[in-house]
Each structure stands twice: as C-alpha cells, then as structure tokens.
Structure 1
Amino acid sequence: MKHPFSFLFFPCFLLIIISKIALAEESYSQHYPVQITTTSIGDGFWAGSFVKEDLLLGLQFTNHSTNLTREEIYDHSIGQQSQVVLVFNRWNPTREKSFFLQSGIAHRKQHEDTVFRRDRYQGDTLVAYGRFGGVKVVWPEWAVNLGLGWHWHSDLGFSGGVGYGLLWSERPKMMIDSNYDWFVTEAENKYFQAQQEQTRDKLNRLAIWPSYSASIGWTF
C-alpha cells in the first residue's frame, strides 16, 4: 500500500537542494516563518526559511473536501476534494519586506464529482430519489505556480500575509459515469448529454486555477 504522504519526498528534497545552493552563495542569518493559511485550494499551513534578505523558500500543504447540492432542472450532487503540496519561493524585487513575487511547483490530488439526480413519483407520491449519470473532472498531478502578494514579518515574532496566484497545468480530464438507479427518460438523457458538453467546453479554462491566500503565524 502506498503511503499517503509519499509524494512529499520530491518537494522536500527539492526545497533542501535549493536552500543549500542559496546558502552557499551568501551567508545570511536565517529566519523561519511558520503560518496557518486559508486558500482557494484548501486550508493548511506553510513553513519556510529566509535564505537571503530578499528570498524566502517555503513548503505549503493544504487540504479541501466539501459536498453540496445545486438545484437546477435536476439536482446536482457535487463533491470536491483537493490535496496540494506546494514548493515555492518568494522574492522581494525592491528588497522591501512587503511586496513579493512568487513561483513554485505544486503536486496535487484534485477532482470534482457531479452526480445528476431526480425524484421518482407514483402518482403524487415520492417513492425514490436516485441518480441518472455523473461527470468527474480530474486535474493533472503537477502544476506550475505563479503569483504575487504582500507579507509582513519581524526577525522574531508575529507574521502574516496575503497573496494571489495561479496554478497552471495541462487541461484536466473528464470521466463519464453512465450508471443509473432506474430507467432514464429521453429528457434526462438529453440533459445528461448537455451537461457533458458544458463540462467539456470549460476544460481549457480549468487548466488555470486561481489561488488566493491569507496567512498568519510566527517567525522564529
């Protein structure tokens, strides 16, 4: 059985190598921010090291899972899940402690399942509630991160920040689930086909995932 955190090895290894290279080039009294964070790809934490006065290297882990129902002509039962590990660097181009540019590499397990459901009646009596199809969108495991933001910190003490960026990858894949709980009517089949087309049409846009964040923590 594969260990659930085995995919952390490569990002951690990459972070260590970059840190060693940076420290070899310039001697600097390091500071280590550790912050909890909330983002558009989940909640979690990140930790990093100021290897230079204007360069921060960090590792972030976020997790997100939710289920919701959207009512249209038929009910959409939507399940979203993502687990993202991000290795990143933040560079202060003006050597100030506030504005930064960020780049990085993300490893993620992200998907969205949408199941279409309807009520079944006998006369005026509701006898069942079941599915007549589903669409699953699965994002690629690897993505590039680009962004910018503002952070504040002291050599020792309270720190925080806000940021906005993008996770940029190949287009996600769409998987069709045609399982149903009972006979599918012509109207339901047409609706299911239309939902597949709508999802297929937006796959290119979903290759670019916006990522905003707000963090708070402590610098050691």
Structure 2
Amino acid sequence: MGLRRAGVSSARSLPCSQVAIKRVPRNRVRHWGELLLEWLELPDSVVLVLERLEWCQDLLGFLAERRFLPEEEARGLFCQVLEAMRHCASCRVLHRDIKPENILLDLASGQLKLIDFGCGAFLQDTAYARFAGTLSYSPPEWIHHQCYHGQAATIWSLGLLLYHLVMGKHLFRRGQEVIWGQILFPQRLSQECQDIIKRCLSMQPLDRSSVEELFHDPWVQGVPLP
C-alpha cells in the first residue's frame, strides 16, 4: 500500500478536534507521498492521524435502524458512491472492499465518505491473482477462477451495495457458496433500479456496466450531490 507523508509541525498547529487513528505495519508501506494531517513512526508501524466526522454513522448501522431505504434516498447515496469510485479511478486507486461498513454518512449534511483503504491497491489493467477485501463481496470470477479485474470487481460490489440499500440485506451471505439464480425484487422497486442491480451483478465481467455507464443511466441522472 502507499502512504501520503507530511511534516509533523503543520498538524500540531491545527485547532483541537476529534481525529481517527490508524496503525499500519511498516512492512506494508511501499510508497510515500503527502499526508493531510499527521503521522508518527514507531519501530514496527506507522500511526496515521486522519479526519474524523463528529456526527456520522456507517451505512451498515444506518441500514440496521431503517431496515431498507426508499428508492429515492438510496439513489442519492449510490450516486455519491459512484462519484467516489470515479475519483479513485482517476487517481489509479482500487479500493477492493466496497461495503456498507466502509462508507460513513455525515448525519448533518448527508454526505458520504469512503473509508478503510487497507485492502487497496494501485489500479492495473491486468488481472489480479491475489484477493483482498471481504469474501462475501468477491465477484464470481474470483470464486471460480481465482482472478479478477479491478473495475469489474468494483461494479460487482456496487451492485451488492445498491441491493443492500434498497432491500436492507446482503444478497450473498457466504462468498464461497454463490449460486446464481433469478433475483427477486419487491413491486415497490422501479424497473430501472432493478435493471442497474442486474447489470452490476452479471456473472460475466464484460457484461457489467462501467462506472461512467452507471453515471449516464436514466435512474441515476439528475440526482444532485449534497
């Protein structure tokens, strides 16, 4: 993984505020750049000081309280996740662990933040032969062939995320036992929303929509970001 490095003095001049602390083993740091807040080097690890939202909740907890989200609300959140994926791709970064637990919702503003890049990697055009992330979100090509392409695997995760938002549950509980069949949807979901989920969860990676295609889908168009 890569870390972004910065001087300590700039962070100590910041006003007192709550932060998030992440500890990373030193042997996992392969590249240094610039870090927004502060870092501290220990003999066997690096401690990162990161932004922490004061009034936030991860989407898993948010969904547990709401059961499922109305389609319009889910669409707004999904659009923000797409924007995060577009930004990651522009930086040649692959998150590899897109799931509700790794998405924070600012309860005051409604803005989402993608967190925990611990499974991340630099985006490559060739296939990945090593899995990182949550197995129940792994695409079928990994389960069957032990390889996957980054963008196609991301779209698979986005399909599972959208399903979870509108249905209130994860479609596949155990990634090792994915048996594909017809997905059943309630009548309250529009056909357009169902179609997006089905395209994202195509068994064939090349048949899945890209992030840009999802952005231009009629179901997604016209949703303003907070």
TM-score between the two structures when normalised by the length of structure 1: 0.24
Choose 1 or 2 for highest CA Rg: 1
More helix by share: 2
More strand by share: 1
TM-score between the two structures when normalised by the length of structure 2: 0.23
